[in-house]
Amino acid sequence: MPPFDNDSFLTGQNATFIAELYARYLEDPQSVDPSWQSFFAGLGDEPKAFRKEMEGPGWGVKRAAMLGNGHLPTSAALPADVHQAALDSIRAMNLIRSYRVRGHLIADLDPLGLDRRTYHPDLDPATFGFTEADYDRPVFVNNLLGFSTATIREIVAALHATYCGHVGVEYMHIQELEQRQWIQARIEVPRNQTDFTERGKRTIYERLVEAEFLERFLDRRYTGTKRFGLDGGEALIPALEQILKRGGQLGMKELVIGMPHRGRLNVLTNMMGKPFAALFSEFQGNSANPEDVQGSGDVKYHLGTSSDRDFDGNIVHLSLTANPSHLEAVNPVTLGKVRAKQRQRADQSHDEVVGLLMHGDAAFAGQGLVAETLELSELKGYRTGGTIHVIVNNQIGFTTSPAYARSGPYPSDVAKTIQAPIFHVNGDDPEAVVHVARIATEFRHRFKKDVVVDIFCYRRYGHNETDEPAFTQPLMYRAIAAHPTTREIYRQRLIDEELLTAADADAIEWAFLARLEAGFDAAKGYRPNKADWLEGEWKGFTIATSDDRRGETAVDLALLKQVGAALTRAPEGFNLNRKIARQLEAKRGAIEKGEGIDWATAEALAFGTLLAEGATVRLSGQDSGRGTFSQRHAVLFDQETEARYVPLNHIRDGQAHFEVIDSPLSEAAVLGFEYGYSLADPRSLILWEGQFGDFANGAQVIIDQFIASGEAKWLRMSGVVLLLPHGYEGQGPEHSSARLERFLQLCGEDNIQVCNLTTAANYFHALRRQVRRNFRKPLVVMTPKSLLRNPQVAAKLGDMGPGTSFHRVFGEVDTLAPDSQIRRVLMCSGKIYLDLLHARREQKIGDVAILRVEQLYPFPIRPLAEFAVRYPNAEFVWVQEEPENMGAWSFVDRRIEKTLSSLAVKAKRARYVGRPEAAATATGLFKRHAAEQARLVNEALAP
Ligand SMILES: Cc1ncc(C[n+]2csc(CCOP(=O)(O)OP(=O)(O)O)c2C)c(N)n1
């Protein structure tokens, strides 16, 4: 074998030439000489994968240049040693590629070393045809790993250091070449490590001391109190510091964080600067808020906070989103906040506001909401420029081992669906953890894409501090008991490196302990001096008042007409769909005439007038642009070019922006996102629309744990609106009911508003009311289907004009017998009203009055009483189209009783008319539906 010197055939141009020849062969085997074909075929390679490698940074010479002369040699002309060298080179390339793809599988990731895999055939040089005898022969690899030539032994050593040390990287699934090359360059040349300065290492040590000592201190002072300690995962804290520091250097101004229980107290204090005294005071059973602040409060490991941190002059604002126990539910909420803050800052490049989500390994692998939220990452209406994910992978979920918790090798596998790079790292090597945290931050900054850091660690104690982990994982916990802490390991390392003396380390520890002790002493007298909920963007808002709360929702007719004109106008030359053109024409006519304004137009007028007044409107939901029932057409499409035109963005100069988004087919993530958006942006109207109201149950966690109870638990208001198509029209069990009863059951302590409306004008006012008051409450609207086109619900322009407002109850509209002779009062809500009205008019019944409850919660006792008292001799009947165990009946029954009991009327309670109890919300048979509907209407009107 000749030495590989500069004259060798396989250096420089020749080597690249063979590689190019190979690339050409892979694209089209016939394009190269037959002898080369059989040579290359003998390599048995995966053509596609190899071709991608050829495009990697190591093969820097441009293909065009190499193939320029069109003259290809034949292998017959190739001397045997050159043949061997070419073979070696190509095999080495494959070996390198294999390490890039699978090196992580034998990386040293588990601090406990319980399940370490050290061999994988794809990483064995023998698999590529190298025997021991070949190991020291130089091979040409053209600048890969920083080598031009190297022996297999050297190549494997470099690959091991890069891909199989304390960091395992998964990135070869990424389709974007530039991203793969960036990661390769970032990790291969420095062998996947950062050389930290003495100061940097000391800082890492300080952070570990803080992380560990806080938990130990809490354990000692509040033994047996749940804290979901970080013990075993302490490296998280230096990793977070790195994200802040590097992020700040790269222009990050705000970091919006979502995280679960594990380590949250550590993050709240050590990362976010919540005073230790405040935390200890909560451990003593005190509220996090001043005593005069109402609300249920929440356990301390669910609370949020915000603060500013200064890194070398870069101020980064941090906000940790409060969350419920439901793991991962906070993810979309956090990202909605990020998006809102980006808009407020006009951060179009997404450099200034960044989302950070932390996860447990079992939760990340198990919860579907994770996949739903990841899916939002590249979507136009939800993009936030990439989220940094950190998994605290303690290799257990409560008592469940990974083999029972997920099917793949890692908890992070779901993130591959969006081609996020994944950095697995051994949590006992804090330098490696900080190193990957830095790369992740840089990657997010550079490519505005999600990135995952998976910190392999362990959980030193039980799931919480009262659990006995040895009941279920005895071997793991025996290993943990014998395992030094991350801090102890690192302390020894720094001492061995002579960067720290034992006395230095002791001093750092004592100094932090002194801070904890001082906090402990201060906790006794600690009083939170104010609740933090009406600050920043929320300045000027107040707690909801107990009056009618109508808000100024009426609009000058001139403005209504201006919006109306914009709604019905398309740009010059825009090729409108013919049917749409006719609809716009009709709409224009209605607005000009000032009557016949249908539901969708009233909605558009509500949006448009708010936009004109300066409030942004954001509506997202499945097919919301057009509308499920083809009613909205908020986006017009040019029939020749598919260009989009959004009339509501062309009302007048200086107006606010209207965003209508066709969401992905997710309920939980999208509603969570909009709720999060509304938390950060109280001055905009934020709406989520269900395709049919039934589907809201796919977002039940967001509704129960955030929307209904967030204000009480965390003092966080939201004005989010839920539009839920509802009504019995024979479309079957899943397209009839938005489960009104579920929302009503959630009502309490003035937490939400629930409406079931019967006029387009009332809808207009209900929407505007959301923005035109100085408090915020979520609004749930049962929205119509057939009523969208029913002329009886249509509005006059005057119903929205000066002097008008929202009505919680509507009284009788027809002229009937004198009030005292009314024999029955039908009370109802929503679409059934029109069925009743129609039948009563048809049957010419004059002694049955109808009251409509437009807002079910807060229940309108006073206006209802004002109407009811007019009918002293009537019986009162509640009519609904939902089955008896559903709809509003159970909710209104006692409230109607309470209303009537204070009035001088004979009736004391309402009687029920509606469908009988049922398991399914509705029949799937149209005929049966029609018969049921007719029966209940007739029963309601029966003599
Ligand atoms: C949606 C949901 N289901 C179940 C639970 C109950 N629970 C709380 S913590 C936990 C285990 C979580 O394991 P992991 O995600 O690995 O985090 P760790 O506690 O190990 O840090 C479970 C099942 C929950 N909080 N949320």
Helices (H), ranges, 448-547: 474-481, 486-496, 502-523
Atom in ligand 1 nearest the alpha carbon of residue 463: 19
Percent of the chain past pLDDT 70, that is, above it, reads: 92
Atom in ligand 1 nearest the alpha carbon of residue 366: 15
What is the band of 37 on the pLDDT scale with cuts at 50, 70, 90? confident
Q: What is the pLDDT of residue 44?
A: 53
Angle at which helices 236-249 and 430-447 cross, to 10°: 40
Q: Report CA(397)–ligand 1 centroid distance (Å).
A: 6
Q: Is ligand 1 within 6 A of the CB of residue 325?
A: yes
- Check pLDDT > 60 for residue 74: no
Q: Report CA(398)–ligand 1 centroid distance (Å).
A: 6
Q: How far apart are CA 935 and CA 943, in angstroms?
A: 14
The stretch 17-38 carries a mean pLDDT of: 73
Integer Rg of the chain from CA: 34
Specify the 3-state DSSP secondary structure of 476.
Answer: helix
**Contact present, 457 and 427 (Cβ < 8 Å):** yes
Q: What is the pLDDT of residue 81?
A: 67
Q: Is ligand 1 within 6 A of the CB of residue 363?
A: yes
Sequence-distant (≥ 6) Cβ neighbours of residue 118 within 8 angstroms? 106
Q: Is ligand 1 within 6 A of the CB of residue 519?
A: no
Atom in ligand 1 nearest the alpha carbon of residue 359: 15
Q: Is ligand 1 within 6 A of the CB of residue 405?
A: no
Residue 204 zone, left/alpha/beta (φ > 0; ψ -120 to 50; rest)? alpha
- Check pLDDT > 60 for residue 47: no
Ligand 1, atom 24: closest residue by C-alpha:
326
The stretch 13-29 carries a mean pLDDT of: 69
The stretch 170-182 carries a mean pLDDT of: 97
Atom in ligand 1 nearest the alpha carbon of residue 392: 21
- Check pLDDT > 60 for residue 70: no
Q: Which residue has the higher pLDDT, 50 or 664?
A: 664
Bridge pairing between strands 617-621 and 685-689: parallel
Nearest-CA neighbor of 474 among 410, 396, 411, 409?
396
Q: What is the pLDDT of residue 4?
A: 29
Residue 826 phi/psi, 5-degree rounding, is -90, 130
What is the band of 50 on the pLDDT scale with cuts at 50, 70, 90? low
Among 259, 327, 459, say which to mutate for ligand 1: greatest number of ligand atoms within 8 Å of CB.
Answer: 327
Q: What is the pLDDT of residue 35?
A: 59
The stretch 578-607 carries a mean pLDDT of: 96
Q: Is ligand 1 within 6 A of the CB of residue 240?
A: no
Task: Give the mean pLDDT of the chain.
Answer: 92
Ligand 1, atom 15: closest residue by C-alpha:
360
Atom in ligand 1 nearest the alpha carbon of residue 228: 19
Q: Is ligand 1 within 6 A of the CB of residue 361?
A: yes
Atom in ligand 1 nearest the alpha carbon of residue 360: 15
DSSP state letter for 271: I
Tens digit of pLDDT for each residue in 880-930?
Answer: 999 999 999 999 999 999 999 999 999 999 999 999 999 999 999 999 999
Q: Is ligand 1 within 6 A of the CB of residue 603?
A: no
State the sign of the Cα–Cα–Cα–Cα dihedral 183, 186, 189, 193.
Answer: negative
Q: Is ligand 1 within 6 A of the CB of residue 882?
A: no
